[in-house]
Amino acid sequence: MEFKGSNLIKLLLLTQCLIVLCAYGEDVHFFYFVQQWPGSYCGTVVRNCRHPKNKKPAIDFGIHGLWPGKKDGSTLRYCKPKIDFSASQLAGITSKLERDWPALTCPTKEGSFFWKQQWDKHGVCSNSILNQRAYFELTLDLKEGTNLKRNLSNAGINPDGKTYTLDKIKDALQKAYGFTPFIECYTNNTGHSLLFQVYKCVNAAADSNFHFIECPVRPKVV
């Protein structure tokens, strides 16, 4: 097959466009912002949970991730082309990340293992809206703005070993946010149901005006 010069250039451009469309063709409609309760994660999902540098995690909800959501409640994952995680882009926010986004399974690895894993799996798919620095900064801001533990505490729900009904928890969060986040529970080996993860949604704002919204669809994992 022969191509004249200008046709070849057109074909190359078209091929490049198609590659970009394939990679980022699926629009980001919204994000799931997911927080996890360390005691529930460590008590039920994995053994030998340990905070980086062997400190105990804060008694607070940590971040699991910020996941671009699809219309059916699933999430975009491992988008191509891959954009390598760069630890240097987190300069100045690492201590905040260690506090708010601790990697609970890391007895030997540093916390950045979890951040890299989340960037590779979900962050790259958000890159049309958020570069790596913006992705991590936004996620930290969302954690700060959500006040999950305080809002539960205001309703008398505390990590004190007592049992609280799911309805009471949902009611407290509905009153605090004006919508009900999705709650994921785990049943531990003594048959107790533990509050594990809380899912809130965030608009996918091309103009960077991000804010919490009622989730358009139930996350598939819950």
Residues that bind ligand 5GP (CB under 6 A): 36, 41, 64-65, 103-106, 114, 117
Closest CA to 40 of 197, 198, 153: 197
- Nearest to ligand 5GP by Cβ — which residue? 104
* CB of 10 or CB of 77, closer to ligand 5GP: 77
Residue 53 corresponds to which tokens in the numbers above?
A: 């540098």
52 preceded by cis ω (within 30°)?
no
Shortest Cβ distance from residue 104 to ligand 5GP (Å)?
A: 3
* CB of 36 or CB of 132, closer to ligand 5GP: 36
Shortest Cβ distance from residue 118 to ligand 5GP (Å)?
A: 6
Shortest Cβ distance from residue 209 to ligand 5GP (Å)?
A: 27
* CB of 105 or CB of 131, closer to ligand 5GP: 105
* CB of 103 or CB of 172, closer to ligand 5GP: 103
According to DSSP, the residues that pair with 35 across neighbouring strands are: 63, 198
Shortest Cβ distance from residue 9 to ligand 5GP (Å)?
A: 42
Give dist(CA 201, CA 31) in Å, integer.
Answer: 5
- 90 in helix, strand or coil? helix
Q: Where is 144: in which H helix or E strand?
A: helix 132-146
DSSP 187: E
